[in-house]
Amino acid sequence: MPQRPILSRVAPLAPLLLAACGAATSQPTREARAAAPAPRIASATAGAPVVVELYQSQGCSSCPPANANVNAIADRPEVLALSFGVTYWDQLGWTDSFAKPQYTARQWDYARAAGRGQVATPQVVINGGRTTVVGANAAQLAAAIQAAGSPRGGPAITASPDAVALAAGRGAASTVWLVRYDPKVRQVAINAGENGGRTLPHRDVVRQLVHLGNWSGAAVRFALPAAGEPGLRTAVLVQQGKGGPITAARRI
């Protein structure tokens, strides 16, 4: 089996170098911790779902507990759970079937915005910005989501089947993202790498991340491109800059 990369060897801001699989001080030592039921998360007061982005890889042996915990909350209406597969574990013997360089770049945007010189898996980013947890501890994940609450500070979002509109309002210039994700549980047989021989469940896997345009305070409308495959669900995120906070979100 390939040797695990060491966190301290990751070069600052090198986008495709290996990153460590979780932080040694915060990840559990046994995957069994993922089986513990997550505490109930109270509904976000402003109505918009809390955006929970999991960065993980099928080739990372520390990722399954975090993956299980995010899967466990994916049906809750107050949470928008999104699973992003990253590419930097692919060279250890297994190519992640859902990963894209675009998703790796998005995780690096978060790292740079927060002043971090490296990325790691698993990592959960909540409402963009700097709120992150490893995700392998269900209670810690639930507490972080509860503390974050709904995205705030962005425009109201309305949608039709083929377009989305953002209302006028005050707020920082922002990027508008279209996210299409697969709500089904996908059982993936891993044939090599650190998780070789296992079958891992994935759900809410992001299949498309599209930059629709920008919002700077004026009302704006964007046409929605066609989905790249059937059965996907759609959400819209409004985010300040690269790796900045998500200020509005809506399922469509």
Q: Which residue has the higher pLDDT, 149 or 32?
A: 149
The amino acid occupying position 242 is: K
- Is the predicted pLDDT of residue 26 greater than 90, yes or no? no
Through-space distance between the first and last CA atoms of the chain, rounded to whole angstroms: 43
DSSP, collapsed to helix, strand or coil, labels residue 188 as strand
> Does the model's pTM come out above 0.75?
yes
- Is the predicted pLDDT of residue 185 greater than 50, yes or no? yes
For residue 110, what is the enclosing H or E element? helix 101-113
What residues does each domain of the chain span? 7-251
pLDDT of residue 228: 87
Q: Which residues are paired to 250 by β-bridges?
A: 236
Q: pLDDT band at residue 47, thresholds of 50, 70 and 90? A: confident
121-141 tens-digit pLDDT: 999 999 998 889 999 999 999
pLDDT of residue 46: 52
pLDDT of residue 75: 95
Instruction: Give the span between the Cα atoms of 186 and 75, in whole angstroms.
Output: 15
- Is the predicted pLDDT of residue 32 greater than 70, yes or no? no
- The tally of CA atoms less than 13 A away on the side-chain side of residue 213 is 15
